[in-house]
Structure 1
Amino acid sequence: MAVVPVPDVSGPPAGLPATALEGLGTRPFGVYVHVPFCATRCGYCDFNTYTAGELGSAASPRSWLDALRRELELGAEILGSAPAAETVFVGGGTPSLLGPDGLAEVLDGVRSVFGLAPGAEVSTESNPESTSPEFFAGIRDAGYTRVSLGMQSAAPHVLRILDRVHTPGRPVDAAREARAAGFEHVNLDVIYGTPGERTGDLRASLEAVLAAGVDHVSAYALIVEEGTALARRVRRGELPAPDDDVLAADYELIDSVLSGAGLRWYEVSNWARDEAARCRHNLGYWRGGDWWGAGPGAHSHVGGVRWWNVKHPAKYAGLLAEGRSPEADREVLTGADRYLERIMLELRVSEGLPLSALDGGGVAQARAAAAEGLLEESVLDSRGRAVLTDRGRLLADGVVRRLAG
């Protein structure tokens, strides 16, 4: 396999304007850590990930861990009196490839540099095939409180189309192992709408999820991303593109089955057993919080400034070894940007968006959407909130566009 070339990118200074730091600590603050390593590449995935064959000798987990610590220290220096992290989320990639010792080192870095708030939520994504009872016991001892496992489907032919290498029953076993290790909060990810997936396949996947006894489920419609192996197969006519009507029917089935089992939606693509089971880190995103994203390609946001790191792990490590920022670029959100983002993000959660956040045109559109059954009737009361109905969730993007004007 060819080695991915290291791009010639220099990281600009990463200082933040004083206006971005105003109010730091009054908003939710979290730390996201991106692990860029995968054992194999899934055909549908366009995340910033690399296999060992693609990286060659250009980067390693050890060089990444060393660079990560330097970036965390840079973040604490830039943020100054940054609050302790209320949430930490280690994503990827495949964080479980680091093993319990590597993940413990990641969390130790966050803890020693930023500190952890009392009762902090600490999550990691994991591939079921690279976990074991010993793995879960190790990361639980290290301080992780939540595990998210990539299941995607229980149907072997669906997993093959997605290029997933785990066996169909392994995610359920892994979820049970995590619970036995003391994890109260365990999530399983499901992807629906894969070409060739039948209604019965999706039902079987949902039955497996419920049998695992998890308290959180994330379900995402398959998106054919440009540049992926799946996109090339669709373009060549080997596989059909996902059908919007099928996706809508699948979503309704997922919501019905999960709700019937006591898991309620709290964000368009997420269901939880109760409020304690909700992913607080992601709620921080949806509620306009601040976070430092560390790792190759990671995105950050503080006080209306968004930036992202260089993607290649070798370039990322090299810049930090030179005492330079790994930042690739940034944008300062305008008032109009922040208005749109607030509508787009808060409308996705079950508590909805307060009408006071909308301008006159947005309020009028919200009332019209309520009259059409896309928002709950409470929006007709000027003191209410814009909350999506079941039908509105299927058409959420259109509702956002209407409210944003």
Structure 2
Amino acid sequence: MSPAATTASHTDASAPVLRDFGGGPFGIYIHVPFCATRCGYCDFNTYTAGELGTSASTQSWAEALRGELATAAREFAALPTATPPVETVFVGGGTPSLLGGDGLGAVLDAIRAEFDLAPGAEVTTESNPESTSPAFFDKIRAAGFTRISLGMQSAAPHVLAVLDRTHTPGRAVAAAREARAAGFDHVNLDLIYGTPGERDRDLDASLDAVLDAGVDHVSAYSLIVEDGTALARRVRRGELPAPDDDVLAARYERIDSRLEAAGLTWYEVSNWAAGDTARCRHNLGYWDGGDWLGAGPGAHSHLGGVRWWNVKHPARYADRVAHGGLPAADWEDLTAADRYLERIMLALRLRTGLPLTDLDAEGAAAARRIAADGLVAVTDERLILTDRGRLLADGVVRDLVG
């Protein structure tokens, strides 16, 4: 869930040197590394039961998670400024819903045992539609979760088959309705577009289903063929075509048009919400350069310009926690140049844009050139991507930073 790290200086991998909090909202991300099956396109740090064998389990993970949270709380308590209340919690993965309602409630209890949750904190969990039920939603709502993010991906059976998704096409919509019935005001559905074999009418059917579900948030991501995945091997063997950039651009415009017409407005390049209160506050913390603790195998953390990331394998993660200290695999102290790049890279993806005052002289000159090409506009002294600029956001960032 955290943004990619940039190149920066680092030292002893097991001991990140922490500085004080940066002054913005503070969030906690929990990584659940378990999945029932592995999707062909996924390169996340996840494991099926067969891949783990007896080396790790949900029980050993939960025990290690409690240990990491306790260690982090002690480390943070030694900093000059008191640890701020936790404004947002996001439980991701993997498939957090495999923990069940009781397991997810225990995760939130473990956070509460070490940190103060702010009044009105946003508490989100990702869920696979097939591992949810009305009883599941009732339990996690009672436990204190306030927001649900469901992996729908598509309403077309043949598209789900290419992605190796196991849920039936209608289950995601049914799950969204069950979540609303359980009292969740904020429900997100994830879409993936550009899958080989997807047609315009397949995307339209997916959008029809999303809008029929009555959710207040939609995330839509173009399919990326990641090295080392089963999907990448199929593309390399010629079994499937690689996603076409022109098709991806047309699909994005189709998604944006349909969602905007239905009252869901983009606030980040890949995210649309029905008003400010529906926006994902946790992810906004990433994009605004906030602080967060990432707990769990492979999770990334950021505190006052210092970033660290945990060892990936659940068994090694548990072993590192048991021996004390934060279970970091490596860490970095972001330089001024790193922070400048990340500020542009993240803020420009937001509808609110980037303040012109954040740009150096070379960046300001580049911004004028890019504006002349119609990729950005200047509104209230902020640089904001145009509709065409959103399709080329990565290139705009590269041009701004030289």
The answer for the alignment partner of 1:231 in structure 2 is: 232
The answer for the alignment partner of 2:244 in structure 1 is: 243
Listed one character per residue, the Cα deviations across residues 160-209 of structure 1 (whole Å, up to 9, x for unaligned) are: 00000000000000000000000000000000000000000000000000
CA distance in 1, matches of 2:45, 2:285: 22
The answer for the alignment partner of 1:6 in structure 2 is: none
Q: How does 1:2-401 map to 2 (within 5 A)?
A: 12-17=13-18, 20-21=19-20, 24=21, 26-80=23-77, 81-378=82-379, 384-401=381-398
Instruction: Please state how far the C-alpha of 1:386 moved relative to its aligned partner.
Output: 0.4
CA distance in 1, matches of 2:264, 2:185: 15
**Which moved further from structure 2: 61-70 or 317-326?**
317-326
User: 1:189 touches 1:218 (CA, 8 Å); kept in 2?
Assistant: yes
SS of 1:34's equivalent in the other structure is strand
CA distance in 1, matches of 2:229, 2:29: 25
The answer for the alignment partner of 1:404 in structure 2 is: 401
The 1:397–1:15 alpha-carbon spacing in structure 2 relative to 1, beyond 3 Å, is closer
CA distance in 1, matches of 2:316, 2:352: 42
Instruction: Please state how far the C-alpha of 1:27 moved relative to its aligned partner.
Output: 1.0
SS of 1:387's equivalent in the other structure is strand
- Unmatched runs of 5 consecutive residues or more in structure 2: 1-11
SS of 2:42's equivalent in the other structure is coil
User: 1:371 touches 1:377 (CA, 8 Å); kept in 2?
Assistant: no
CA distance in 1, matches of 2:148, 2:123: 9
CA distance in 1, matches of 2:311, 2:389: 37
CA distance in 2, matches of 1:282, 1:323: 29
TM-score, with structure 2 as normaliser: 0.95
**Which moved further from structure 2: 383-392 or 172-181?**
383-392
Instruction: Please state how far the C-alpha of 1:25 moved relative to its aligned partner.
Output: 6.2
The 1:83–1:14 alpha-carbon spacing in structure 2 relative to 1, beyond 3 Å, is farther
The 1:337–1:15 alpha-carbon spacing in structure 2 relative to 1, beyond 3 Å, is closer
User: 2:71 touches 2:325 (CA, 8 Å); kept in 1?
Assistant: no
CA distance in 2, matches of 1:283, 1:290: 11
CA distance in 1, matches of 2:35, 2:14: 30
User: 1:97 touches 1:130 (CA, 8 Å); kept in 2?
Assistant: yes
Instruction: Please state how far the C-alpha of 1:15 moved relative to its aligned partner.
Output: 4.5
AA partner of residue 56 (structure 2): A
In the comparison of the two structures, how many residue pairs are matched?
387
The 1:14–1:77 alpha-carbon spacing in structure 2 relative to 1, beyond 3 Å, is farther
AA partner of residue 331 (structure 2): R
**Which moved further from structure 2: 323-332 or 169-178?**
323-332
Higher relative contact order (CA 8 A, sep 6+): 2
The 1:289–1:113 alpha-carbon spacing in structure 2 relative to 1, beyond 3 Å, is same
CA distance in 2, matches of 1:88, 1:25: 18
SS of 1:331's equivalent in the other structure is strand
CA distance in 1, matches of 2:401, 2:282: 25
Alignment identity in percent? 72
User: 1:25 touches 1:83 (CA, 8 Å); kept in 2?
Assistant: no
CA distance in 2, matches of 1:366, 1:109: 46
AA partner of residue 45 (structure 1): C
Instruction: Please state how far the C-alpha of 1:12 moved relative to its aligned partner.
Output: 4.5
CA distance in 2, matches of 1:390, 1:366: 16
CA distance in 2, matches of 1:397, 1:52: 37
Instruction: Please state how far the C-alpha of 1:322 moved relative to its aligned partner.
Output: 2.1
SS of 1:223's equivalent in the other structure is coil
Q: Supply the RMSD in Å over aligned alpha carbons.
A: 1.1
